[in-house]
Amino acid sequence: EVKLLESGGGLVQPGGSLRLSCAASGFTFTDFYMSWIRQPPGKAPEWLGVIRNKANGYTTEYNPSVKGRFTISRDNTQNILYLQMNTLRAEDTAIYYCARGWEPVDYWGQGVMVTVSS
């Protein structure tokens, strides 16, 4: 069974940083692209970026809306996906989902809430 479990969310002040983690299980982690997607309360999802699989060199793509502030990485020995978020703004407040795949995204984690507020 595919499982994706995010952690690391919480309340952070504007300008601050946060690192989210996603523990993956139930599939061969290195075979899959992995994405981060966020969803502000009551709004549509927003794709943040993707890190490719082993066969594609673990390269990354980012949404221009977060490029330069957010970094996606993965630990393929422990099957963990990361999202490093810097210079956070109020508009980054959202539920953040870890997800398997890129297009389509076939499994989503349960999400973790990130609130940016003073």
Which of these segments, 21-29, 57-65, 75-83, 86-94, binds other proteins (CB under 8 A)? 57-65
What is residue 67's DSSP assignment? Answer: B
Q: Least distance (Å) from other proteins to the CB of residue 13?
A: 27
Contacting residues for 104 by C-beta, under 8 A, at least 6 apart? none
Nearest in space to 74 (alpha carbons), one of 107, 97, 51: 51
Which C-beta is closer to other proteins: that of 29 or that of 108? 108
Number of chain positions touching other proteins (CB under 8 A): 24
Work out which of 30, 59, 110, 117 binds other proteins, going by CB under 8 A: 110
Sheet holding 18-25, edge to edge: 3-7, 18-25, 80-85, 70-75
Residues that bind other proteins (CB under 8 A): 35, 43-47, 49-50, 61-65, 97, 102-111
